[in-house]
Chains A and B, each alone.
Chain A
């Protein structure tokens, strides 16, 4: 199994630009999660999906952030327009269905730097 795949690994952009982060979950996993990691706030859950449907987006910081999951094998997190305070590492994770005691499988993250 290839694991959760995220792209790009690093993204450097200027303030005001649109940024799109991509994630391919593990095949067969029905839950997909987007987390953001910063030194100040630690790991924050932004949004999660079940069967491609957004279940809880209460962690999305503001309207500049949006996430989609058009099919079971692909999700995007978009920031438009980006700001320097969005600089962080963004992780995607996936998990099995109907098994709350199953672990999350994380990708290696996308390090976003907004200048």
Chain B
């Protein structure tokens, strides 16, 4: 079945540091890929998405590129802020048959210190 593996946290960075959170996936067909963010006490929010190979999703300074050859969708940001502290989830959604459900990774907790 489909699965998503993301780097284990927690990740602790200083403000303005470079961020990478690795994500790889296993899926049949051609899934769409997503990064969601969960701030403390809130639900998940879509951060960015990519729907086909070589697409780059971007939002709020975050980027991720859909790499079909390496089945990866790593999240990056050049300069993190304290306000980026949250849990980040990589996810895929497959189009096969009637399967529209989202498969999530386990999440990576990011803490950014001033």
Contact = CB atoms under 8 A, between A and B. Distances in A.
Given A43-B107, A103-B34, A50 B100 contact: yes
Given A100-B94, A101-B49, A107 B102 contact: no
Given A33-B101, A43-B104, A45-B101, A100 B93 contact: yes
Interface of B: 32, 34, 36, 41-46, 49, 51, 89, 93-95, 98-107
29 contacts: A4-B43, A31-B100, A33-B102, A42-B104, A42-B107, A43-B89, A45-B101, A45-B103, A48-B100, A50-B98, A50-B100, A56-B101, A93-B43, A95-B100, A100-B93, A100-B100, A101-B32, A101-B95, A103-B49, A104-B102, A105-B46, A106-B43, A106-B45, A107-B43, A108-B41, A108-B42, A108-B43, A109-B42, A109-B43
Contacts of B49: 101, 103
Given A42-B107, A106-B44, A108-B43, A101 B51 contact: yes
A12 interface: no
Nearest to A95: B100
Interface of A: 4, 31, 33, 42-43, 45, 48, 50, 55-56, 91, 93, 95, 100-101, 103-109
Q: Which of B93, B100, B102 has most chain A Cβ within 10 Å?
A: B100
Contacts of A50: 98, 100
Contacts of A105: 46
A43 B104 CA distance: 7
Given A4-B43, A45-B103, A101-B49, 20 more contacts: A31-B100, A42-B105, A43-B89, A43-B107, A45-B101, A45-B102, A50-B100, A56-B99, A95-B100, A100-B32, A100-B100, A101-B32, A101-B93, A103-B49, A104-B46, A106-B43, A107-B43, A108-B42, A108-B43, A109-B43
A100 to B, nearest CB: 4
Contacts of A45: 101-103
Nearest to A31: B100
